[in-house]
Amino acid sequence: MLNFAGTPPLVAVPETDSRQLIAADLRALITRIESSMRLIDAAMMETGMLETGLSESSLAQADPAGSADIVVLDDVTPRYATASAALNACRAGLGHALQCLSESGSPE
């Protein structure tokens, strides 16, 4: 459920100014989404590096002869990938909304 309690009341502004405000808001949302996507990518890379480090060094030291039989299951990466895909879809939708807004302001 959305909470608009902290949202200031809308002020009557010319249509051009309104479009500019909306476009700025959309660009800010796109920036936040891209930031979140970078954080997810970094977390996925960190998870991958930890797994690689664990499987190559720690496991080999623990049981050098049987280390090939050990499999490290990663239950985090699929969730990160799903979240990243959802954010990518949101980013595409916001980009489309921004494009439509820009087109609506051009004279015909």
Say what the pLDDT of residue 45 is: 84
pLDDT per residue over 73-108, tens digit each?
567 788 889 999 999 999 999 999 999 998 876 544
Say what the pLDDT of residue 89 is: 97
Q: Which residue bears the tokens 């664990």?
A: 54
Q: Are 37 and 91 in contact (CB under 8 A)?
A: yes
pLDDT per residue over 36-68, tens digit each?
999 999 988 887 755 554 544 454 455 555 555
Say what the pLDDT of residue 27 is: 97
In this prediction, residues 4-27 reach a mean pLDDT of: 76
> Does position 30 have pLDDT exceeding 90, yes or no?
yes
C-alpha–C-alpha distance, residues 59 and 52, integer Å? 10
Say what the pLDDT of residue 47 is: 75
C-alpha–C-alpha distance, residues 47 and 77, integer Å? 8
Q: Model-level pTM?
A: 0.62
Question: Which letter, b or e, does each residue of 57-82 get, where b requires 16 or more Cβ atoms within 10 Å of its Cβ?
Answer: eebeeeeeeeeeeeeeeeeeeeebee
Phi/psi of residue 101, nearest 5 degrees? -65, -40
